[in-house]
Amino acid sequence: MPGTSPGMTSSLAVAIRAQPLTARSTMRLRIHHTTTYRYEPPATSVIQILRMTPSSHDGQYVAEWQIDVSTDTKLDTHEDAFGNVTHVLSCGPVGDIQITAEGLIETHDTGGVLRDADERFPAGMFLRSTDLTAANPAMATVARQLRGEAGSDTLGFLHRLMSEISEHMTFDEDPTNSGTSAAEAFSLKRGVCQDYAHIFIAGARTGGVPARFVSGHFLRSDGTVHQEAGHAWAEAYVPDLGWVGFDPANCICTTEAHVRVAIGLDYLGAAPVRGTRYGGGTETLSVAVKVEQAGRGGQSQSQSQRQS
């Protein structure tokens, strides 16, 4: 999304459109993602980096997308080092901010293989460990054992790693937060999709496979449309295939039910909203996400996504 938005509007919308997918069986997903911050007393100033805008590539086409901000603000559009579309929001003084990202995405299943995405770095750069993705001795032992059993079969190793994580972990929203590391979540044996992704990344890198964090959205197969947050998974680099998406929280490779938004070495590089504030008192954050199938005209319809 090129260009810079004009500053200071009461409800700033940034819209993008791409050529629709044709001659393929597609899924059309309507996404509505709202993040609300409240400050009591009001903050003197707020700066936020938004990574809430998906890009088009093979298997994913942005039919329409826009970002609305509820308050007078300056919203500048950039691309970060990884090629993610970012918006820098700055405003103040302010008591509350509501950021809404919504649009229509057309997807199709590529068997989890990512093609025609904007790649800024060689795959080997994603072997770099971070505080959130460092493996502890127990994790390293498991990863090395699985790698040894798989031998030169990198794809087989990654599938075994994903299955091992699924068996080891229990999905639980209570014990972890956005700052929980892979090692901490692995020790707890509990966590959310972000934790599963961090553990997978740590294991893959320990096995010598480049891996990265992906933030986005997921159409659930149980009929749940309203969600409390976006989704997270990982991508790993497989020789002769390229980048392949692995969703360890659901123990599947990525499908047409996944909408890819941003990538990073870990969550901090792909977080939908991340920033800082000056002044003010208590900060309250609430997130609401809605992901549903849409008809050919863009209207929402009941979903019939199969259980993967």
> For every one of its 308 residues, what pLDDT tens digit does the chain have, with 9 covering 90 and above?
233 222 222 233 333 333 344 445 689 999 999 999 999 999 999 999 999 999 999 999 999 999 999 988 878 999 999 999 999 999 989 999 999 999 999 999 999 999 999 999 999 999 999 999 999 999 999 999 999 999 999 999 999 999 999 999 999 999 999 999 999 999 999 999 999 999 999 999 999 999 999 999 999 999 899 999 999 999 999 999 999 999 999 999 999 999 999 999 999 999 999 999 998 789 999 999 999 999 765 554 433 222 22
Overall CATH class of domain 12-108+272-293: mainly beta
CATH architecture of the region 123-269: Roll (3.10)
Query: Which of 254, 260, 238 lies closest to 112, judged by CA?
Result: 254
Residue 107 CB neighbour total at 10 angstroms: 22
Residue 118 CB neighbour total at 10 angstroms: 13
Regarding pTM above 0.75, the answer is: yes
Q: What is the dihedral sign for C-alpha 169, 175, 178, 179?
A: negative
DSSP assignment of 160-202 equals HHHHHHHHH-EE-SSS--TT--HHHHHHHTEE-HHHHHHHHHH
What was the pLDDT predicted at 1? Answer: 29
- Angle at alpha carbon of residue 88, lines to 84 and 93, rounded to 5°: 155
Phi/psi for 48 (5° steps) reads -130, 140
What distance in Å separates the CA atoms of residue 47 and residue 281, rounded to the nearest whole number?
A: 16
> What residues contact 130, with CB distance under 8 A and at least 6 apart?
265, 266, 268
**Distance separating the N- and C-terminal Cα atoms of the chain:** 33
Task: Count the residues in the chain.
Answer: 308
What was the pLDDT predicted at 273? Answer: 96
Contact 20, 11 (CB under 8 A): no
Residue 306 CB neighbour total at 10 angstroms: 7
Phi/psi for 130 (5° steps) reads -130, 170
DSSP assignment of 106-162 equals EE---TTB-BS----S-GGGGG---TTTPPPHHHHHHHHHHHHHHTT-HHHHHHHHH
What distance in Å separates the CA atoms of residue 233 and residue 212, rounded to the nearest whole number?
A: 9
What distance in Å separates the CA atoms of residue 121 and residue 82, rounded to the nearest whole number?
A: 8
What distance in Å separates the CA atoms of residue 185 and residue 165, rounded to the nearest whole number?
A: 11
Indicate the SS3 state at residue 51.
strand
Q: Which helix (H) or strand (E) holds 185?
A: helix 182-188
Delimit the domains of the chain by residue range: 12-108+272-293, 123-269
